[in-house]
């Protein structure tokens, strides 16, 4: 299922965003049985803004595990799944003492983690979500990724601390939150609190699974008073609005 969001910008806004090196941060919502689900900045756009920004994604999923800690403003290291990588990449990658792996997965499937980093994808899952089960003796950061059409990459939408002998159930939700930031935020970054006013957009009931909104640097976000979009105040916990 393809989703698309068009953000129209005023000319003054374009100039200020580019001069100020703003970053557009996109967050996708999740549902989970684990209350300690941390939203990740799923996709970013920075510099070279023009009058319209198009964000497109598909709910093609992967499940990852990483040795990156989950800390506010920290980047969770997530490599690309094996079948979507270039020849110069590997599914299991180690960099600067941080390692991770990533495998494509579907709803109703399970990612089983065993000792020595062994990962198996199977159908031993009675839920409608993705099940991630840690049968190893190690703790990992884990979660799911959603495919970005914009740059043909999988990026994390959420992160959990998963300890040995534990499991979590998680699935994507067809909502997106967008927020401009003056900070240079990367994909897969843990963000706990909104630093500027965000816009939460619900795609349920949309035509062709698409929405169009606008943003003005002074007037803020606008959906022509449609009820499928909600302004999110500065200082709001992202987990409270993005995890169902």
Domain holding 81, by residue range, is: 2-242
Q: What angle do CA 30, 34, 38 make, to 5 degrees?
A: 55
Q: C-alpha distances in angstroms, 33 versus 2, 72, 215, 225, 239?
A: 25, 22, 34, 33, 13
3-state secondary structure of 241: helix
Q: Do strands 130-134 and 110-113 pair parallel, antiparallel, or not at all (unpaired)? A: parallel
Look at 16-25, 75-84, 110-119, 166-175 and tell me which has the smallest mean pLDDT.
75-84
The reported pLDDT for the residue numbered 96 is 59
In this model, does residue 37 exceed pLDDT 80?
yes
CA distance 39 to 27: 7
Give 100-114 pLDDT, tens digit per residue. 999 999 999 999 999
Which 8-state DSSP code applies to residue 149?
T
Number of folded domains that form the chain:
1
| Closest by Cα among 241, 238, 194 to 38 | 238
Give the pLDDT band of residue 91 (cuts 50, 70, 90): very low
The mean pLDDT value for 77-102 works out to 67
Q: C-alpha distances in angstroms, 84 versus 60, 72, 152, 232?
A: 12, 29, 8, 34
> Structure pTM?
0.93
Q: Specify burial of residue 234 (Cβ count, 10 A radius: 0-12, 13-18, 19+).
A: exposed
Q: What is the dihedral of CA 9, 13, 19, 24, to 10 degrees?
A: -50
The reported pLDDT for the residue numbered 87 is 38
CA distance 175 to 131: 21
């Amino acid at each position: 299922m393809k989703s698309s969001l068009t953000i129209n910008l005023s000319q003054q806004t374009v100039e200020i965003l580019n001069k100020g090196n703003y970053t557009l941060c996109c967050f996708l919502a999740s549902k989970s049985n684990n209350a300690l689900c941390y939203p990740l900045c799923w996709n970013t756009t920075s510099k070279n803004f023009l009058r319209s920004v198009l964000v497109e994604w598909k709910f093609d999923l992967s499940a990852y595990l990483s040795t990156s800690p989950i800390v506010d403003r920290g980047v969770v290291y997530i490599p690309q799944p094996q079948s979507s990588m270039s020849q110069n990449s590997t599914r299991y990658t180690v960099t600067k003492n941080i390692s991770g792996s990533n495998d494509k997965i579907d709803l109703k499937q399970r990612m089983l983690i065993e000792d020595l980093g062994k990962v198996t994808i199977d159908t031993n899952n009675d839920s409608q979500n993705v099940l991630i089960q840690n049968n190893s003796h190690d703790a990992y950061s884990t979660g799911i990724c959603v495919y970005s059409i914009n740059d043909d990459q999988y990026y994390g939408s959420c992160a959990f601390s998963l300890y040995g002998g534990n499991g979590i159930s998680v699935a994507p939700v067809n909502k997106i939150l967008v927020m401009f930031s003056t900070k240079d935020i990367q994909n897969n970054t843990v963000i706990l609190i909104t630093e500027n006013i965000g816009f939460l957009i619900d795609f349920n009931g949309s035509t062709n699974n698409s929405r169009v909104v606008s943003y003005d640097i002074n007037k803020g976000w606008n959906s022509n008073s449609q009820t499928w979009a909600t302004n999110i105040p500065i200082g709001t916990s992202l987990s409270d609005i993005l995890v169902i």
